[in-house]
Structure 1
Amino acid sequence: MSEGYETEASDLQRVVEWTRREMLMPCLDGSNLVHVSRAIASVCGVPDLLFKPLECSRDRERTQEISEVIGDPKHLVLLLLDGLGVNAMELHLPPDSFLRRHVKREIRSVFPATTAAAVTSVLSGRYPSDHGLLGWTIHEKDDLLVHPLPFAVAPQYEPAKDHGVDGKDFYASLRPGSIGLIPRRKQVISAYANSDFTMALCSSLEQVPAHSFEECLSKLEGSWRNEGNHPSFAYVYYNEPDRQEHKYGHEDEIVKKTIISINDELEDFWKRNEDIEDKKIIITADHGHLVVSAENKLIIDQEEDSDLLDCLKHKPTVEPRSPCFHVKTGCREIFAERFRKSRFSSRFALISAEAAEDIELFGPKPLSSRARQSLGDFVALTTDRVALFQDHPDAFVGFHGGMTPSEMRIPLIVLD
């Protein structure tokens, strides 16, 4: 039994203290991905009135600051490098490297600091509290669990449509916004072009499949050279270094080689296209990474923790670094009491959905119906390098999805 964290008030106090010392909240701590998205849309001619008027304090000011950094180039590109957090970039690239020389500022991801939430915010210009895709695993109707990016059910990874989940219905809340509204010739260059997720937010963009970084840059170069004098926008997504960071951890030599390769390919690409005028590439990431050791992968065990499992509708959702719990009817109080007396409470602070909404954990309130459904009844937060699973842990070494600086700090790089 853990002593000292047996009420919501005590857990909330922990979270407040964390935000003062070691936890970064997007609505409080400087510019974030929502500001980047809205700034890009703004400089490309999307009226501010088209954004849903849910804002954190200083959102407009921070969006304007990013707009001034971007300017108004004829050819504008947003390149998102999955997992290229400030920590990995500074660890593996020297200060005089191509990417680090062009860093304009450090910004924040959204919370949860994970691809589903962050990329949706980038493409829509909306916070997770609004768009509602909070993480890798989402609670859907009839207690079905869905992975929204591959659009597959958990844990089998079978197509969601085979389980009666219609893609148009599932992504209905992801109406095109921000990037999808840009009034220019525009493209998405990505291995996930034409996917259900991409089409939900970027149906107005030309879909250009590209699977390697070399292919992404080649397709972009071809687009530039065929554009002539017409203003253009391209959103380019590449899934590294995230894939290697999950497998080996962001500190590993393999990750270092991957990041150096990305840096060098971009430098060569930029030099090769010096003759193309009035172009700018905005480079950022969706999140950073941290390493979770095997002993810090905590398991909700069928036998040892049966009192907790008896209260749950299904496995925890969203992310192992910030697990969300959907509790059976009538079990909220008993689940909270049991969790706060469990061995997990020394590592995680448990707060209710209502408290999370009140402190604007996921972005400005109120939570949308999709966000509320995804969140469930409780979310557990931590500043430790731990992750929480049911039954068995992921084989990953690297993780993200929390609010620590390692996960939240991302670069804003501008090539011009």
Structure 2
Amino acid sequence: MFHAPSPSIRVRPPPGPVDAELSPPGSKSLTNRALILAALATGRSTLRGCLDSDDTRAMLAAIARFGLAHELHNNATTVTLTGNGGPPSQLADPTRPIDVATAGTAARFLTAVLAASPLTALVDGSPRMRERPMEGLLRALRDQGAQIRCLAADDLLPFEISGTRLRGGEIRLPRPPSSQFISALILAAALADAPTHIVLEQGTPARPYVDMTLATLRDFGGDARWHDHNTITITPAPLRARDYTIEPDASAASYLLAIPAIFGGRVTVPALGSRSIQGDAEFCQVLARMGAAVDRAPDHTTVTGTGRLDGAILDLADMPDMTLTAAVLALHARGRSEIHNVEVLRHHESDRLAAAATELRKLGAAVQELPGGLIIDPPLTPTRDVAIDTYLDHRMAMAFSLAGHLEIRDPACVTKTFPRYFDVLRQLGMIAA
């Protein structure tokens, strides 16, 4: 799969303090969870506020291959979908692989659902997705009765899945490299013959994403919950279609809320507040710790710049996707910042810790790269007019667009989760001619 780089774009700080209400698109994580659950449910679901992006299109394309009709409305932000009332039972053109592209959610969730389906299917993805770990997930699904044959490297995409009725019972996992493994097993367990108990022997990274999966499954009629701190119990139950509203994407909101913290002014993100089920919505607390003023209500979040950011020691284990935003905040802060417990980022769209360290150094920061984090000593003033490489990683492009006067290479990678991101910056006067 060849990716032709898109033309670079030049960004700059806003021309003055920002005063804006900005709405990110719908949550990628919630959209792909709701899509797969609607496909498994009985009846016709309407999903509102969906994200239309590369990742969600990969999920929708797979669902269409299962013979499930869907319609798109309101610029593809509303999806109506008639479910199968259980696991997929047919697959169009079965010799053609299901292409998950770069979408980790699609890769892990579809693999689990196909393992619980009476089908044989091929699954493949982008070159980077072929490098991302799958081993613990595949082992657990094989132990549950599915047959999975890897077609290249062991325990990596591409592979052939011959699904079956999964047996349930106990699944024991060491700490997985991604919370998506656990979320995928929860989805598969909802289709099993008997209750399943997932025992997390060493916990999980990004636990709020697991909580999100449990909450969304229950919203569609499933029965899944924490039995104790490290055990999840899933009891198979019929899934029911429903009307479901997707929250704005809290990860995408982090870039918008960081703008006034860095450059001054005020930004409000509506419909994303203390009621959010997204763990990344807690990033506003990081902004407050570093010196921004935060007003958080149940249904909105407002951040106001105070004119000063201070370095902080941050444990981002529960919100690792916020690491790059925090790293760019650290570039503008006074004093050292430390980010810890985000080793999971080694296996994302890029090795985000190595990529962030490289690009921060271009901007004049002194960076120590840890196995699971970064120590950042900012420059007095970030170096101007450097070219930032994005590594085909949407979060690198969006976070580093807030670093100052610079060039972002291959900005189109943001289509993975926030296709209009640079349009929003243009409205704020942050795109240089």
**TM-score relative to the length of structure 1:** 0.24
**TM-score relative to the length of structure 2:** 0.24
Structure number with greater CO (CA < 8 Å, separation at least 6) is: 1
Of Structure 1 and Structure 2, the greater helix share is in 1
